[in-house]
Amino acid sequence: MRTQVAIIGAGPAGLLLSQMLGLEGIESVLIERQSPEYVRSRIRAGILEASTVELLKQVGVGERLAAESMEHRGIYLQWPGERHHLDFVKLAGRSVSVYGQTEVTKDLMLARERAGQQTYYEATDVELHDVGGDSPYVTFVDASGQPQRLDADAIAGCDGFHGPSRKAMPEAEQRTWEKEYPFAWLGVLADVAPSTDELIYAWHPDGFAMHSMRSSHVSRFYLQVRPDEDINAWSDDRIWAALTTRLGAGQHGWKLETGVVTEKSVLPMRSFVTTPMRHGRLFLAGDAAHIVPPTGAKGLNLAVADVALLARALTTWLRDGSEKLAETYSDTALRRVWRCTHFSWWMTTMLHRHGDDFDAQLQLSQLQRTIASEAASTELAENYAGLPIGY
């Protein structure tokens, strides 16, 4: 079997790439390890930058997004006794939108089905071959157990942190940077109306807490826990009690509504960057090339920004015959990757309890400065609301 671009991974990066290439008349085949039901039900990120929203609208998957997303002007930053609003629209001229990654994925899957492009779900033994040469190909076993070979002009590795694409890059040419954090998040989804109009990021002596949301009747919460935390030790009552304390319910007349917990899981936190993001005819995009801790809400947006560059690079190469953008893809993408890596690290280290009491005082001082100085709040706002694509 032959196609122009073999895309490995049907997460937001792979699905969006196939959609953007399809609009330019470039054919692709998607190879995904999981079933469509599994991909559709994965709960992950929830915040879209303005440029992500704009891009999704431009490429024809913005209809439900426009109708159902919630536009937020900013976020609340809080620590015991104080809650402050940062208005991104005033500070940086841009807002963000609440629309779950699960919903983005559903919209993109539907668009791909409508476009009639081929997807192999539940593929196993996915292997990349000859990525440094002119005739790369992918082998895999399809859902019915048939071995398959897919030849392509280019391969896009959109298979997340654990996929095979990054491992197919020559080790001698790769460099990686990694940071593990000494804490994790307990993520909680609950059937309850949000108790806040915009997201709350809270520093607390017991650990970080966050109040996010998915819709007018579904809330999303996160609590800082240990990386080896036993999820079974967190009953619903314990979760609501910790959120009540850390989010400061009962103070200044603010109430936290509670409801039925429908999902809970522990998420590890790491920063990871690999360079370069291209070798020969293999291109990495999204989590396959980099991971950020979720505190800055950057993971999904960064994957979208990579794909915006990669779709253009592959189009100008495969359709128009110019390799120029393919050659600069890695360097251009990595500029934004490192900016978001720094921002995510900064938000994470400012808001999570770690170290000693001296460190806690520095965190509180940094939080106060972020609120008190327009320069400091603008720096947070510009990064959070998102830098232009191609930054």
Only one of the segments 3-11, 21-29, 82-90, 290-298 lies at the binding site for ligand PHB (rule: CB under 6 A); that segment is: 290-298
Q: Does residue 248 interact with ligand RFL by CB under 6 A?
A: no
9: Cβ contacts below 8 Å, ≥ 6 apart:
30, 31, 32, 33, 157, 158, 159, 160, 163, 165, 286, 288
Q: Report DSSP state, residue 228.
A: T
**Rounded Cα distance, 97 and 91, in Å:** 16
77 vs 189 by CB, closer to ligand RFL: 189
Residue 350 Cβ vs ligand PHB, minimum distance, rounded to whole Å = 13
Q: What's the CA angle centered on 257, arms 251 and 263, to 5 degrees?
A: 125
Q: Which of 286, 351, 385, 389 binds ligand RFL (CB under 6 A)?
A: 286
304: tokens are 């979208």
- Complete DSSP assignment for 187-208: EEEEES--SSSS-EEE--TT--
The single residue listed with the structure tokens 């966050």 is 210
Radius of gyration of the chain (CA): 21
Cis peptide before 276 (omega within 30 of 0): yes
CA separation, residue 236 to residues 115, 213, 378 (Å): 43, 18, 37
- 295 interface partner picked from ligand PHB, ligand RFL, none, CB below 5 to 8 A per type: ligand PHB
Q: Does residue 96 interact with ligand RFL by CB under 6 A?
A: no
Q: Which of 266, 267, 364, 376 binds ligand RFL (CB under 6 A)?
A: 267
**Rounded Cα distance, 54 and 332, in Å:** 20
Q: Pattern 211-250, binding to ligand PHB, x per CB under 6 A?
A: -x-------x------------------------------
194: Cβ contacts below 8 Å, ≥ 6 apart:
211, 213, 216, 219
Only one of the segments 109-117, 297-305, 350-358, 364-372 lies at the binding site for ligand RFL (rule: CB under 6 A); that segment is: 297-305
Q: Does residue 389 interact with ligand PHB by CB under 6 A?
A: no
Residue 356 Cβ vs ligand RFL, minimum distance, rounded to whole Å = 28
**Rounded Cα distance, 271 and 267, in Å:** 13
Q: Does residue 287 interact with ligand RFL by CB under 6 A?
A: yes
Cβ count within 10 A of residue 197? 12
146: tokens are 């048939």
With left for phi above 0 and alpha for psi between -120 and 50, is residue 314 left, alpha or beta? alpha
Q: Which of 6, 168, 303, 381 binds ligand RFL (CB under 6 A)?
A: 303
Q: What backbone torsions phi and psi does residue 163 show, to the nearest 5 degrees? A: -75, 170
β-pair type (2-8, 124-129): unpaired
Active-site residue 137, yes or no? Answer: no
46 vs 163 by CB, closer to ligand PHB: 46
Active-site residue 298, yes or no? Answer: yes
Residue 135 Cβ vs ligand PHB, minimum distance, rounded to whole Å = 41
**Rounded Cα distance, 5 and 30, in Å:** 9
Q: Does residue 297 interact with ligand PHB by CB under 6 A?
A: yes
- 164 interface partner picked from ligand RFL, ligand PHB, none, CB below 5 to 8 A per type: ligand RFL
Question: 153 to 192, contacts with ligand RFL by CB under 6 A?
Answer: 158-160, 162-164
Only one of the segments 33-41, 83-91, 176-184, 198-206 lies at the binding site for ligand RFL (rule: CB under 6 A); that segment is: 33-41
Only one of the segments 43-51, 115-123, 155-163, 272-280 lies at the binding site for ligand PHB (rule: CB under 6 A); that segment is: 43-51
Residue 387 Cβ vs ligand RFL, minimum distance, rounded to whole Å = 15
How far apart, in Å, do the first and last CA atoms of the chain sit? Answer: 37
Q: Does residue 47 interact with ligand PHB by CB under 6 A?
A: yes
Q: Which of 10, 45, 150, 256 binds ligand PHB (CB under 6 A)?
A: 45
Return residues touching ligand RFL (CB under 6 A).
8-14, 31-34, 39, 44-46, 101, 123, 126, 158-160, 162-164, 267, 286-287, 294, 297-300, 303
Catalytic residues, by residue number, are 72, 201, 294, 298, 384
